[in-house]
Structure 1
């Protein structure tokens, strides 16, 4: 039996928690019942604040308003039916659930049995006391406002998000425009009114104009501007008349409350009715962009075309293109260009636009590399076009020019590039290209600097003839063109690891550029290349001296003149100065003198060493392996020739030309197929079965020999030694691939693998040389005493060198003695030392020049 709640003193102390709990239940019931109503109300209000009604017809706006009203009424009705007012008992039950043991309910209960038993009554009183203390600690629970089960799609959050956006970007005052859309909804006593805006296109960057503030009768607006007018009041009281849009066909009524037009031409804009106004609109036409070539097209030394251009527009250029077409009308149609070209699309490249800054008027440079294109150095027409934001496109006057591209100064490289162009010009030129390539390689020892490039040319030639006989396709054409381009680059640039060859090539390219009237930028790039090649050559000379255990590191020419690196730099500065002044004849003469001195330059020789070190032995072994690999490659090439002409005797195939110039005689080839593997020197192209197998066995034996040499390679643990071992690993893998190709009678693939093996061997030898030089330098530095360092730092007269790396000395030659007596003693000492044959040659030459001068 439950007691009345008012008779329990403890419950009187729980009035505040009970009230808060009841308020929480009220909030729970309200949220669960009326969240649809609140969501619909927020969504409708947000749409009005964003001004959606201003962009829709009146009928649609009021239709949406009616639907919103029905939705609000429906959600209110559902909410009222579901809502229940929380009672005090429910609040007590909710509060009691938060306490362990339900003490409030225990306080409301009465003892039913055992009332006559004193002990039972004592236990009940103790229980009531304990429950009272526990009930005194009650705190109001937090209300459960979650309605996720009732709203699984979170529509309430979507409505809230739209409302927050409206608060940020909308206006509460726009809600009042709904009343103006209703017939008679505005106070007619105030009369009809209107509003208007002129919104220029966004790309113009001009602000929106509020027409109510424009009192001038004439107004200028950009082309494409949008005019929006809104009429408030009785429909028909205000009407619009305009001649600026140029609209034809069906147009909206002039009395519509919302008018939206686009300005396309000059005309009149007039609002008829109370408070109406008239404007004479003048359209600011969007001018088309302008683009033109701003200077001559030039080519850098690496082949990139530099084409300056200028573009402008009243509001800014958006994009541009350069269209390049071949000018067949002025093209000299001779040699490989005599046949009709294969169809080829015109070249279209995008013009670079400024990333930041103003695009209304700017100058940029188009940088593209057309060196590999068949139209390189041929007459073309370049047409530039530009487009603005309004879609206007302007084309500049076509400019005829020779398409700038990379220039090849090596005659053989230029010939290969020309034949590559003819092959890309038309597939009908394939046989002619093969004949020309065979002709220019008639004497390979006179035109090729390396055997690798010669072998590549012969492989390209054979592949071209084979593809021509079986039908040359576009894919074959692209493959051969890429191979010929790589060969031309190899012929032009040569082996960059060979410093002397690079120096000669840089000097020849610079000389050819001066003779052919190259651009200033190209000459400057070639001059920089000459400087780098000279520095590399001097470093190689110094490294060679260290490898041979020489003491000196000073360069000298054969005529005995001493030159330092600063002297060489001054000579190159003088050459560049002469070229900049246009004195090309004097510049060429100075370049020839520099070339002659660099050819004769060497490192001062010192005392040789009695025996060979481990590194020198390894270097000689690798050199022998390289020679034998070259012989095997020559043998494989001869077998490839005989494979395409099996009826010929050994060495008598057409075009079978050796490195020594013999034709039709296999023994004229260098290498002669001899190697350590068999020792018999039998040529592999004898047409007998098993000869190819013998060549593969010799390749395997050479690979095994390389592996043995690699195991005894010095310099382990150093960066140079590890680089040498990596290079020899690549050479071994290439030899293994060549062996497999030989066993499959794939001579073309074998030649390619053998070329890779030789390149890797050369790289390994260079890395081994650097490792030996570094090792010897460390040994020299560790074994040199302080006295030896001071002795080596003395000049031929026994004086100490200057401090801080200076070439002079701070010591006084006279030191207080008579000048003439001291001079005679010095001359006598110079004569005595110049006659000592054991002194280094550079020191004796220096002393002799002192005697000649004084």
Structure 2
């Protein structure tokens, strides 16, 4: 009795769940039995709503209607025959099949044996209790309404789609035509007057077209610019149209015209008079003008681009916008070149960016433009934003007075060139002043103003062109041409032809220091700090490459042991500290830290190995000699060009040439080529030729002309390119490509020298030197990669020449091999490298303890 009571309690908990499951079974039965009925009805209703009754003849309509009725009746009878009302037992069976172990059936069972056994009864009660726990969490079983097996062609989906089309594009009023057909009034429907109408809002509103027959009479609100299309059927004049919403005043068509269309431009009335007519009071939904506003202040990126945020709003969508920038002449500080009356210039107009995808009715965007080359750069201007919607309406923001953001030049000479360019673009009357200042700047190039001869030459070329144009009148085209040339010169002065790591590092430090003095923006400071980091990385890699060369003397090694060691992490921490101080606004401390970093980098020694070195080192040394000889040849061409400018002052210019050559020598002494730069004497090229050794007769002969010497350098480069290491590697192939460009530039320089075109020759020689430096850098990376791969390969191949404990079998080589003895200082150098490797491995904590103990014992012994 107790077991039966427990079972009944569990079953009562399931009564609600069983009821829901039973309803699901009923839904399954009805769906499978009557799905053809609603499929046929969906198709019939969709046909009526789309307007099939108005197109088909009356006889065909009756036949189709009869067919629909008979088909529906047959499917109903067939479905009723198949309907089986689910019982409670069916629901229990369905629910029990979804539970593990069929606990409901277990609760309904009774024990077949052991009724008098207390142990059997206790076990049975425990089993019943476990089954009751399983049924406690039971939930109703979802009905299976899938009909794919019964409807393999998907007819029910087709019927549903047709019904949706009728709902979207048809009309409910047409369903009433069925009653007319049933009452025999079909002929009256065809012959009597009727009408149809549509309202088409503008496409940019995104609103759907409205079927006017479905709109109730009375108030009707439609968007401005909507078009109304009316069609009148039946006897002409039975129906007429009266409207006051179009505002038409010219030739108006007849009110009884069978087809009429017009645009809604104002509030008014619309009436279709006659049998079945209707009347509406139309209210116009006006299209508001767009709104636009500037959000935040104009910022300058590290590259000089202006970033200006804005937000736009419209009731439908914004289709375009403009940013107009006008000069605020009243707030311009009129001094120096700005004292002259400015030439007439149109305001700057740039299109505003719009979202590529998404909603354009309300959005936020950022205008990014670079105005660095414009004459108004860094001058007071007024920015006005305007937005336009699809209806042609526009809205404007309030005027924002700003200083036009642009790129800043931190090199003093580059900054001066940019100011001269601005003065020239400001007014053509400044041409005389600009030419005088350019002459003053280039009067004494020996004062260290110009770091490269080509920069001086370009400035003088621009000066000559300016004076020539000025004599015949400076046109706008020539003005823009000179401005572009000055811009390229300023970029070259600012960024420079950075062919070696030390020069790039020094220039990055100078630019950063200048930026801190001039109060640069955070973005500019961050960009300059990134340049300093990259330049420092290049310089440290050059130091590492030099110090890894073979043949360092023991005295140099002892000096390295006693000197302070500084790695890349130490430099990184110092630069992070400098950037942190600048972000905190402590510019004085940041400047002091930058000077300390500069002193530490300058005190680093670049030691070059003694002896011949391997083949790659010899190749690098040969390329360095070629680069040094090319630099000397370029210096001589530059001096000859100066003598052409002023042939009567050759004696006076010799001192200037000496100073300029010396300045250039100091600028390129650490070009990363292994050379010592141009000499500090009178003729840098002669000293370079003296250091070239065996190449002196080929490239530095006094009896050879400049063209012949350039040809000899080209032939020497061809010989060196035949023995380049790293073939097949990306860096090696890139080095060959760069050296190939250097050879082409040398050919161009040779042709120019033979034609006595010294200006072109100097430019081509500069291209050749730049390509040579690039090729040497890429070749160094290829050699470093080969050395790393070779070290890994040696570590694998030498495993066979070691004893079972992994130790070397001695410095005489393995038995039976032809390995030679290490002689001289190589023994000590090898021992030094082995000891350093043992110390490195002993300091690695991730190695096994047994290995580290062994390495420590070796260190204690040796």
Alignment TM-score, normalising by the size of structure 1: 0.63
Q: 1:762 to 1:478 in 2, by over 3 A?
A: farther
Question: Could you tell me how far apart the structure 1 residues matched to 2:619 and 2:834 are?
Answer: 35
Deviations 1:79-133 (A, max 9, x none): xxxxxxxxxxxxxxxxxxxxxxxxxxxxxxxxxxxxxxxxxxxxxxxxxxxxxxx
| Structural mapping, 1:699-710, within 5 Å | 699-710=710-721
Q: Which secondary structure state, in structure 2, belongs to the residue aligned with residue 597 of structure 1?
A: helix
Residue in structure 2 matching 1:490, options 483, 489, 492: 492
Give 1:319's aligned residue: 320
Of 486, 490, 499 in structure 1, the residue corresponding to residue 501 of structure 2 is 499
1:523-560, CA deviations, whole angstroms, 9 ceiling, x for partnerless residues? Answer: 33333333333333332222222235669999x99995
Q: Is the 8 A contact 1:493 1:502 kept in 2?
A: no
Which structure's residues are more often helix, by fraction?
2
What secondary structure is seen at the aligned counterpart in 1 of 2:289? Answer: coil
1:753 corresponds, among 740, 759, 764, to 764
Deviations 1:25-69 (A, max 9, x none): xxxxxxxxxxxxxxxxxxxxxxxx999x99xxxxxxxxxxxxxxx
Residue 744 of structure 2: aligned partner: 733
Maintained 8 Å contact 2:553/2:610: no
Measured in 1, the distance between the counterparts of 2:618 and 2:447 equals 30
Which of 655, 666, 671 aligns to 2:683? It is: 671
| Aligned-partner Cα distance in 2 for 1:569–1:678 | 43
Q: 1:296 to 1:650 in 2, by over 3 A?
A: same
What is residue 339 of structure 1 aligned with on the other side?
340
Alignment check: 8 A CA contact 2:550 2:611 kept: no
Residue 532 (structure 1) aligned to one of 501, 509, 534: 534
Q: Distance in 2 between matches of 1:652 and 1:467?
A: 30
Paired with 2:387 and 2:451, the residues of 1 have a C-alpha distance of: 49
Deviations 1:408-457 (A, max 9, x none): 11112212222223333344434433332333343455234444444444
1:530 aligned counterpart, secondary structure: helix
Deviations 1:448-499 (A, max 9, x none): 4444444444444445445555665555444443333333223222344523
Matched residue, 2:818: none
Q: Retained in 1: the 8 A contact 2:631–2:769?
A: yes
Change (3 A) 1:293 1:494: same
Asked whether the equivalents of residues 240 and 271 of structure 1 are also in contact (C-alpha less than 8 Å), the reply is: yes
Please give the alpha-carbon distance, in whole angstroms, between the structure 1 residues aligned to 2:511 and 2:251.
Answer: 74
- C-alpha separation between the residues in 2 aligned to 1:757 and 1:596? 32
How far apart, CA to CA, are the structure 1 residues paired with 2:549 and 2:489?
A: 33
Q: How does 1:213-362 map to 2 (within 5 A)?
A: 213-215=214-216, 217-362=218-363
8 Å CA contact 1:199–1:227 kept in 2: the answer is yes
Q: CA deviation at 1:629?
A: 2.8
Aligned length: 627
- Alignment match, 2:111: none
Unaligned stretches of 5+ in structure 1?
Answer: 1-48, 55-166, 177-184, 683-692, 816-825, 834-854
* Alpha-carbon distance change, 193 to 489 in structure 1, aligned in 2, over 3 angstroms: same
Cα distance change on mapping 1:464 and 1:244 into 2, 3 Å: same
For residue 776 of structure 2, the aligned residue among 765, 768, 771 is 765
Distance apart, 1:191 and its partner CA: 6.1
Alignment of 1:255-654 (within 5 A): 255-441=256-442, 442-444=444-446, 446-468=448-470, 473-548=475-550, 561-601=564-604, 608-611=609-612, 613-645=614-646, 648-652=648-652
Q: Are the equivalent residues in 1 in contact too, given 2:736–2:775 (CA < 8 A)? A: yes
User: How far apart, CA to CA, are the structure 1 residues paired with 2:727 and 2:198?
Assistant: 83
Instruction: Find the residue that maps to 1:792 and give its secondary structure.
Output: helix
Tell me the SS of whatever aligns to 2:683.
coil
CA distance in structure 2 between the partners assigned to 1:712 and 1:487 by the alignment: 37
Q: Would the aligned equivalents of 2:448 and 2:660 in 1 still touch at CA under 8 Å?
A: no
Establish whether residue 696 from structure 1 lines up as the match of residue 707 from structure 2. yes
Q: CA deviation at 1:406?
A: 1.2
User: Distance in 2 between the 1:476 and 1:420 partners?
Assistant: 13
Looking at structure 2, the residues matched to 577 and 768 of structure 1 have their Cα atoms a distance apart, in angstroms, of 37
How far 1:583 sits from its partner (Å)?
4.0
Partners of 2:631 and 2:685 within 8 A in 1: no
Match of 2:842 in 1: 800
The answer as to 2:835 corresponding to 1:791 is yes
Determine the C-alpha separation between the residues in 1 that align with 2:655 and 2:195: 95
Q: Give me the whole-angstrom Cα distance separating, in 2, the residues matched to 1:299 and 1:744.
A: 47
**CA spacing shift, 1:705–1:477, aligned 2, 3 Å:** farther
- Specify whether residues 504 and 630 from structure 1 end up closer, same or farther in structure 2 by C-alpha distance, changes over 3 A only: closer
Q: Aligned partners of 1:357, 1:228: CA distance in 2, in Å?
A: 31
Counterpart in the other structure of 2:816 = none
| Contact kept? 1:547, 1:769, Cα under 8 Å | no
| Aligned-pair CA distance for 1:319 | 1.2
- Structure index of larger Rg: 1
Aligned CA distance change for structure 1 residues 274 and 370 (closer, same or farther; 3 Å) = same
Unaligned runs of 5+ in 2: 1-49, 56-165, 178-185, 664-678, 690-695, 799-805, 808-830
Deviations 1:170-219 (A, max 9, x none): 99x9xx9xxxxxxxx98499864433322211111112223333335222
Report the CA distance between 1:303 and its aligned residue.
1.9
Alignment of 1:811-822 (within 5 A): none
Q: Which range is displaced more, 279-288 or 483-492?
A: 483-492
Does the Cα contact within 8 Å between 1:546 and 1:777 map onto a contact in 2? no
Asked if the contact 1:413/1:488 (under 8 Å) is kept, the reply is yes
CA-to-aligned-CA distance 1:326-360 (integer Å, 9 cap, x gap) = 33333233323333444444332221110111101
Given that 1:326 and 1:379 are in contact with CA atoms closer than 8 Å, whether structure 2 keeps it comes out as yes
Contact kept? 1:549, 1:776, Cα under 8 Å: no
Shift of 1:325: 2.9
How far is the alpha carbon of 1:365 from its aligned partner? 0.9
Q: Distance in 2 between matches of 1:726 and 1:220?
A: 73
Deviation, 1:287, is 0.7
Question: Could you give the per-residue CA deviations for residues 592-635 of structure 1, whole angstroms, max 9, x where no partner exists?
Answer: 433433333457x79x5444555545444444433333333333
CA distance in 1 between counterparts of 2:51 and 2:455 reads 75
Q: Give the CA RMSD over aligned residues.
A: 4.6
Taking the aligned partners of 2:605 and 2:641, their CA distance within structure 1 comes to: 42
Cα 1:547–1:418 shift into 2, 3 Å: farther
Deviates more, 1:390-399 or 1:246-255: 390-399
- 8 Å CA contact 1:672–1:681 kept in 2: the answer is no
How far has the Cα of 1:315 moved from its partner?
A: 0.3
TM-fit CA distance, 1:233: 3.6
Give deviations 1:578-598, integer Å, cap 9, x for gaps: 444444444444444334333
Cα distance in structure 2, aligned partners of 1:309 and 1:615: 58
CA distance in 2 between counterparts of 1:658 and 1:610 reads: 33
Distance in 2, matches of 1:454 and 1:204, equals 62
The aligned residue for residue 105 of structure 1 is: none
